[in-house]
Amino acid sequence: MSSTEEIAPRPLAPGLLRLDGISRATMEAQHRVYAAAVAKRNEIVAALAAADRDAAHHLYSPYRELKLELTSALAEVKGHEVFFGHLGGAGGDPAGAFARLADHAFGSVGAWRDDFRATAMASRGWAFAAYDWDERRLANHIGEQGAAPVWNATPLVALDVCEHAYAIDYQTDRTSYVDAFLENVDWDVVNGWIAAYAIPL
């Protein structure tokens, strides 16, 4: 695979158009935002292949700008893929493997959820619950301005709190949107990721 190979947006699963409390219009908008990020990723990768590496400079250079925007575009691509991947479930309190990670790191599922909700309210972009392979524990992080929240951590829950995620359904009421999100997470999917990544419990 060459480094300039294009990626394609994943299709929106039909079940994601029938969520409780998150409208079809919102999810269609989400998919447009995601598909645009995929297209920008492809455009930037192609531009990088043609850009002058010898002119790369940390104060300003096309190479610098393209590399920064590639990080930004990829963060949107990856965030939305996790977001879409774990919606469409019954929500509620997590059980099984994720609950064990939450218990271990936060003392209880409720304490994890309280911190995750606060993380979402404090963010200008994304809230992630990720397993940190160095600390060997679950942690909640803000993801903003395209940057991955931390290295060597695997996202297990990704909550989009950009305006397009909730303005259609809730105007400025982000709290209600966060509640709706948590009522649509498919914890079986999340637990499947924990198993697939061989995250130790």
Where do we find the tokens 């990626």? 7
Tokens linked to 98: 């994720």
Q: Is 155 in the site for Fe ion (CB under 5 A)?
A: no
Q: Is 33 in the site for Fe ion (CB under 5 A)?
A: yes
User: What residues contact 14, with CB distance under 8 A and at least 6 apart?
Assistant: none
User: What residues contact 71, with CB distance under 8 A and at least 6 apart?
Assistant: 146, 147, 148
Q: Is 36 in the site for Fe ion (CB under 5 A)?
A: no
Among the listed ranges 9-17, 32-40, 117-125, 184-192, the one in contact with Fe ion (CB under 5 A) is: 32-40
Q: Angle of helix 62-85 relative to helix 24-50, nearest 10 degrees?
A: 150
Which residues on neighbouring strands pair with residue 160, listed in sequence order? 126
Among the listed ranges 20-28, 50-58, 152-160, 178-186, the one in contact with Fe ion (CB under 5 A) is: 152-160
Q: Is 170 in the site for Fe ion (CB under 5 A)?
A: no
Tokens linked to 77: 């691509």
With beta carbons less than 8 A apart as the criterion, state whether 166 and 23 touch.
no
User: What span, in angstroms and rounded, lies between the C-alpha atoms of 180 and 169?
Assistant: 10
Smallest gap from Cβ 162 to Fe ion, in A, equals 5
User: How many residues of this chain interact with Fe ion, rule: CB under 5 A?
Assistant: 3
Closer residue to Fe ion in complex, CB, 80/117:
80
Q: Is 109 in the site for Fe ion (CB under 5 A)?
A: no
Q: Is 126 in the site for Fe ion (CB under 5 A)?
A: no
Among the listed ranges 19-27, 28-36, 57-65, 148-156, the one in contact with Fe ion (CB under 5 A) is: 28-36
Instruction: Find the binder of Fe ion among 51, 70, 112, 160 (CB under 5 A).
Output: 160
- Site of interaction with Fe ion (CB under 5 A): 30, 33, 160
